[in-house]
Structure 1
Amino acid sequence: MACLTSIIEPLRAANEISGQHVFNWTLISEDGARVQASANVWFEPDMSLDECCKLDLLFVLSGPSSQFAQGQTSNGKLRRLARHGVTMGAISGGIFPLARAGLLDGHVTSVHWCYEAAFLGEFPNIEATEDVIVLGGTRLTASGAAAAFDLSLHMIEEVLNGDIATEVACWFQHPLVRGQGVTQRKPTFAAEITNDMLPPMVGKAVKIFSANIEDTVKIIDVARDVGVSVRQLERVFVRTTGKTPLGYYQSLRMHKARQMLLYGKDSMIQIALAVGYSSTGSMSKTYMEVFGILPKDDRKKINMFRVRENAIVPSA
């Protein structure tokens, strides 16, 4: 719901400020039937996917587990639209169905940090980026709702001008207009601190950890690469995050495992191997220490929630 309003509302405001009906939008669902957002709000589409024509741009908005009821037909329709010059876009989890249609192959894609592990697991050959938005060419992607607002502002600047885009941002008190190359802020495992607030040596170490989720890197090697002693690295980590470097590394791995578990369909052993564990037992023990629940129970819990909320459960 937030992704939809974030892409439309700036365009509406730009029309009003410019005194011109420059931007038009149409809500589309696969079969034309109304669609329920994750916030349980219903939207009435204007048409079905099959009825689409004369579009300049089509954005796919969905959860990561969403799939078309008529996959072959609907994916084919998306591909035909792309072949006929329609720019294809996706926001947040919408990148998953667009990728399943083969329309992100060869395109750099903005992937929300919470979907990163699941996306790379399902689409290892698509180049993913932590940038909040990816602009240019025939594909536009935004990592989340706030990023969709940024993307909309860039479209306004391109079609109208920068002054109107700035005024639209001020209308909504949008703090700043982020462009391509600006990376997503991520939570750390310390209260009220995001990744951009970490001390340089900790930030550099976290990047090394993040690049070595599947293959283990030794803390002594990380300290050497950062240019400090192991003891100094441990002191700064504990002071900043409340965790030792090893503890932080384990937490990173477990959060990646949870992303795959919640948003993907990999088996437990596949998840364990992907985050550097040789068995499900050893991964489950660490997962329990971090989250207070076994991974198989966590997956069952979230799937039961999805059933109650009438959401899509990932198929095996």
Structure 2
Amino acid sequence: MVAFFSAIEPLRIANRISGERLFEWDLISRDGEPVVASNGMTLNVSHSLHEAPALPSLTVCASFEPHNTIDDELIAWLIERAATGCVLGGMDTGCYVLAAAGLLDDQTVTLHWECLPDFRSRFPRVDAVESIYEVTSEGFSCAGGSAAIDMSLDLIRRRHGEDLATRVRDQLVHDQGRRPASRQRDPVVLQEPLLQRAIALMEANLETPLGIGELADELDISWRRLDRLFARHLETSPQQAYLARRLDHAHRLLRVTPHSVMQIALACGFASPSSFSRAFRRQHGLTPSELRRQELSNRA
């Protein structure tokens, strides 16, 4: 819901300030029925998939467990839209749906940072990056949350000029605005490119973790310098930072995928469920099985 309203509100404000209907939008659900968001709020829509009018662009807005909504009907509908020249985009985890339809191969996209490792393993032909938003001639995407504001402000700026975009931003009490290349998190990392590269290497190698010596070799520095780098900027060691990222990835997989604990352990670089369970409990305060039962209970 945050991403959805963050995308729409700048466009509404642009219409109000300009006194013109610069932007219009239609809301579509699979069956035309209202959609209940993850916060419990209900959103009315205008059309079902098969009643939707021809549109110049289409945004897929998704959040938790996007893969559970993907089926042949939805994929065929998206492919048909793309074939008519409709420009497609994704917000938050919407790119999962577009990638499953084969519509993002060889494109650069972004989505919420929490989903990036899983998305990259599922769709290796898509260049998924951790940026705020991406806009190309082929489509657009944003990381969700407040990043949708930045993407909509960029749209207003490109179509109707900097002055209108600035006035809209002021109405939103938004800061100076982030550019596409801005990262979604860890602002301190931006101040140290070497640390940024180290973390990127960690996140690209969650299933088969690199040794700290290998990581230092990849960065062409000594392991002592690598250790000092993490201590100075993040107040932790490279080993602890790497393990935390693997366990955070495991936490998300346990919550939003049906994979077994053993499969998730292997996907996060653990050789056995027992070592995975011990590390997970130290990090998150409960075992993987306990978290899985908790999630199932919350959905009941």
- Could you state the TM-score of these two structures normalised by the residue count of structure 1? 0.85
Q: Match of 2:209?
A: 216
Greater shift, 239-248 or 162-171, is seen at: 239-248
Aligned to 1:96: 96
Corresponding residue of 2:275: 282
Q: Which residue of 2 aligns with 1:175?
A: 175
2: CA distance between counterparts of 1:174 and 1:181? 18
| Structure 2 CA distance for partners of 1:84 and 1:223, relative to 1, 3 Å | closer
SS of the counterpart of 1:88? strand
Partner of 1:263 in structure 2? Answer: 256
Per-residue Cα deviation, 1:163-204 (whole angstroms, up to 9, x for no partner): 111111111121122233222214xxxxxxx45367565444
Asked whether the 8 Å contact 1:33–1:44 carries over to 2, the reply is: yes
TM-superposed CA distance for 1:73, in Å, is 2.3
Q: For the Cα contact (< 8 Å) 1:104–1:126, is it kept in 2?
A: yes
Deviation at 1:22, TM superposition (A): 1.3
In structure 2, the gaps of 5 or more residues are none
Task: Give 1:83 shift.
Answer: 0.7
User: How far, CA to CA, are the matches of 1:18 and 1:93 in structure 2?
Assistant: 32
Provide the C-alpha distance between the structure 2 equivalents of 1:218 and 1:69, rounded to a whole number of angstroms: 38
Closer, same or farther: CA 100–224 of 1 in aligned 2, 3 Å: closer
- The alignment yields a C-alpha RMSD, in angstroms, of 2.5
Superposition map of 1:82-231 within 5 A: 82-186=82-186, 194-196=187-189, 202-223=195-216, 230-231=223-224
Could you tell me how far apart the structure 2 residues matched to 1:196 and 1:70 are? 35
Indicate the larger mover: 31-40 or 104-113. Answer: 104-113
The 2-side partners of 1:57 and 1:185 are apart by 29
State the shift of 1:63 in Å. Answer: 2.0
In 2: Cα distance, 1:64 partner to 1:99 partner: 16
More divergent stretch after superposition (34-43 vs 239-248): 239-248
Distance 1:264 1:185, change over 3 A: same
What is the deviation of 1:259? 2.5
How much has 1:67 moved relative to structure 2?
5.7
Give the conservation status (yes or no) of the 8 Å contact 2:188–2:233. Answer: no
How many residues in Structure 1 have an aligned counterpart in Structure 2?
300
1:272-295: per-residue Cα shift (whole Å, max 9, x none)?
Answer: 222222222222221122112111
> What displacement does 1:79 show?
1.4
Query: 1:6 aligned to 2:9?
Result: no
1:46 maps to 46
1:197, 1:68 → 2: CA distance?
A: 35
Deviation, 1:219, is: 2.4
Which contiguous aligned blocks of 4+ residues in structure 1 show a shift greater than 6 angstroms? none
Paired residue type of 2:200: K
Tell me the alpha carbon deviations over residues 114-172 of structure 1, each in whole angstroms, 9 at most, x when there is no partner: 11123223323322111111102232111112111111111112221121111111111
Query: Matches of 1:42 and 1:9 in 2, distance apart?
Result: 17
What one-letter code is carried by the residue in structure 2 that aligns with 1:142? C
CA distance in 2, matches of 1:135, 1:101: 19
3-state SS in 2 of match to 1:14: helix
TM, length-normalised to structure 2: 0.89
Question: Which string of whole-angstrom CA distances, capped at 9 and with x for unpartnered residues, describes residues 231-284 of structure 1?
Answer: 554455345444332222211211122232223333333322222222222222
Tell me the residue number matched to 2:292.
Answer: 299
Letter in 2 for 1:274: A
- Aligned residue type for 1:21: R
Q: SS at 2:176's partner residue? A: coil
Q: Secondary structure at the match of 1:141?
A: strand
Q: Using the alignment, how far apart are the partners of 1:84 and 1:161 within structure 2?
A: 29
Check the 8 A contact 2:7/2:148 in 1, yes or no.
yes
1:44 Cα shift?
0.9
